[in-house]
Structure 1
Amino acid sequence: MRRLLVGMTATLAMVAALATASCSVEPTPLPKAAPAATSSGSGTSTAPAACSDALQSYAPYSTQPTPDTFAAGSTMAAIKKRGRLIAGVSADTYLLGSRNPLTGRIEGFDIDIVNAIARAILGKGARVELRVITAAQRQTVLQDHQVDIVVRAYSMTCDRWKSVAFSAEYYHAGQKILIRKGSSITGLRTLAGKKVCVPAGTSSEDNLRRLAPKAVVVLAATHTECLVDLQQGKAEAISGDDTVLAGLAAQDPYAVVLDEKAFTDEPYGVGIPKDHPDLVRFVNGVLREMGKDGAWTASYDRWLAPTLGGGAKQPTPQYGRAS
């Protein structure tokens, strides 16, 4: 059984890698959007966001634009003209974005967010091109305009705001530790000398090095590869967002997420190129509507509630960013 689990996990990683390679067509470059308005009429502050305001995004439009009312030259109009939304996602993060082995489709909580944005821009039957990327590629594909958005458990930080833009927070996660049952690891303070796997180039790696400096960091391209390393004894633990670890534990009956309070805050935002603030405002309007019509709760209940528990609330958005 254990060998079967290892094989299945490795297969998922290989499929994800092949999917990445197959999505090589470059998108039509989008025009640079006009600077974000300094006042939205929403009653929120418009002072430039300081470094302590990583959660502060651009306020949504007071009246949400529709496919019939997009302003000429707007990012949304350009995407509509192209005929499809291009999104950077994961294909091996179970529950958030993973390929269903029966249908071949990528699905999960993050994918529901992508589809809601696509429908708002393109209408019913919206076409979506899902580009499978690693966590380390999220910033690059946005800066190079290879995608319109990234929805891949992307934590909002002040440093990342320097290079990309974010929507308002759509989910609040936290970093934890996953171990093999029977492990002597009981928490963050017991990681000294232990081999802990994290995906390279992620905030999880930065946090682990900062909070557990004596841990032996094992780098992988994805959390799925970390699970394989754990199963093969190359790592003794995995550290990452609780959402991601919940998906790993659901795939391996010998893995368990430590029942301790998350030691970081990981606010997920939709990543958007920095020069497209109009799209940020539009996406914030979509997230606002998902809260009003129950779509956010329905998605959470389907994908995350069975593992993380019910009763979660969509984070309260913070607006007011002007630059």
Structure 2
Amino acid sequence: MSGDVRGTQEPARGRVVLAAVVTLVGALLAGCTSSGYDPTPLPTASAAPSPTSSPSPSGSAAPVCDDPLASYAPISPLPAPGSMPSGSTMATIAERGRLIVGVSGDSLLLGARNPISGQLEGFDIDMARLVSQAIFGDPDKIELRVITAAERIPLLEDGSVDLVARNMTITCARWEQIAFSAEYYRSGQKVLVPLGSSATSLADLAGQRVCAPAGSTSLVKLEDFPEVVPVSAATHTGCLVKFQQGEVDAITGDDTVLAGLAAQDPYAQVVGPAFTAEPYGLGVNQANTDLVRFVNAVLAQAVADGRWTQSYDRWLADALGAAPAPPVPDYGRG
């Protein structure tokens, strides 16, 4: 692209049109789920007893966190689909007839609605469908609820969803409120800037407005760069609209998310090396450690049989390169 000098009016017109399109898509996605199921709150976590085959001792998810990546050992053996342990969280889900998962609806490549099929799809969606497959023998017995980043923890805490599969970084602070699966993907925070910008990192954006979603670790990380002006939006798509309308100068977030945004805006580019490590985990209600153990067994099986790599290759390889080695799980908790 060197030597390709674009007039200022052409990008401006293009970005305004793109902003209008993104705004319309966001409005269509708001509040949508991926099935005809009526949203049904789960029983409170305390109402679901733990199975004898995978005990969930009271207080085992206490807010003690020497290692945020340490999760619970996988249930062994992994129960066959349709044969969940009596009294377990998985049995409660099976009796309901569907797994309820909070996901993104606008994170291209991770969790976004296909405009042709209307289905939510992406790498995170695949991880959720693996769990549905393991419980029911059917990946489609799942209700995908589109939620914002800020809603992830509250909806897990009040039992509205069984899992959250929404590029959620595992942190000690979050372990105080919820539980996590073992790490299933390692991302890193980068910056999206206008095409042709000389900036290569947040350090190059002194005095400029940088957007990140409310409730995200990306927004918190901006506190380490007091020279930039933080701006929040409900979602990364909201940040993209602000970027295209000239309300912010850059967007920061996980490289996986920014790759999806750049694919939607020909006047944007993702720059610089990652300046954080963002280990993703599936979020679970803190009391449901039996479900965490079950999910960890499912993820380990998907790595072993190649389904993890197949999903990466389908969604992320074109934007981020060849599949890395899957994260090595840490089962040091409890």
Query: Which residue in the other structure is 2:141 paired with?
Result: 127
Separation in 2, partners of 1:11, 1:316: 40
Separation in 1, partners of 2:128, 2:121: 10
1:32 corresponds to 2:32: no
TM-score of the superposition, structure 2-length normalised? 0.88
Query: Which residue in the other structure is 1:311 paired with?
Result: 323
> Is the CA contact 1:59–1:320 (under 8 Å) kept in the aligned structure 2?
yes
> Is the CA contact 1:191–1:212 (under 8 Å) kept in the aligned structure 2?
no
SS across alignment from 1:196: strand
SS across alignment from 1:81: helix
Separation in 2, partners of 1:313, 1:15: 36
Match of 2:30 among 3, 14, 17: 17
Match of 1:86 among 88, 100, 103: 100
Instruction: Figure out how many residues of one structure are paired with residues of the other and give that number.
Output: 313
Deviations 1:148-186 (A, max 9, x none): 000000100001001100000000001110001123433
* Equivalent AA in structure 1 for residue 294 of structure 2: F
Separation in 1, partners of 2:175, 2:240: 30
Deviations 1:229-275 (A, max 9, x none): 111100000000000000001111110001x2211111000000011
Task: Please report how far the alpha carbon of residue 320 of structure 1 lies from its aligned counterpart in structure 2 after TM superposition.
Answer: 2.1
Query: Which residue in the other structure is 1:43 paired with?
Result: none
Query: Which residue in the other structure is 2:181 paired with?
Result: 167
Q: 1:173 to 1:33 in 2, by over 3 A?
A: farther
Mapping 1:1-323, distance limit 5 Å: 1-19=14-32, 25-29=39-43, 31-34=47-50, 37=55, 50-124=64-138, 126-209=140-223, 211-258=224-271, 260-322=272-334
Deviations 1:103-141 (A, max 9, x none): 111000000011110010011364111111000000000
Separation in 1, partners of 2:254, 2:68: 18
Moved more, 135-144 or 174-183: 174-183
Task: Please report how far the alpha carbon of residue 295 of structure 1 lies from its aligned counterpart in structure 2 after TM superposition.
Answer: 0.4
Task: Please report how far the alpha carbon of residue 85 of structure 1 lies from its aligned counterpart in structure 2 after TM superposition.
Answer: 0.4
Moved more, 104-113 or 22-31: 22-31
SS across alignment from 1:56: coil
Separation in 2, partners of 1:121, 1:285: 12
> Is the CA contact 1:169–1:267 (under 8 Å) kept in the aligned structure 2?
yes
Deviations 1:200-252 (A, max 9, x none): 1111110112x211211111000001111111100000000000000001111
> Is the CA contact 1:33–1:278 (under 8 Å) kept in the aligned structure 2?
no
CA RMSD of aligned residues (A): 2.2
The gaps in structure 1 that reach 5 residues or longer are 40-45
Q: 1:262 to 1:288 in 2, by over 3 A?
A: same
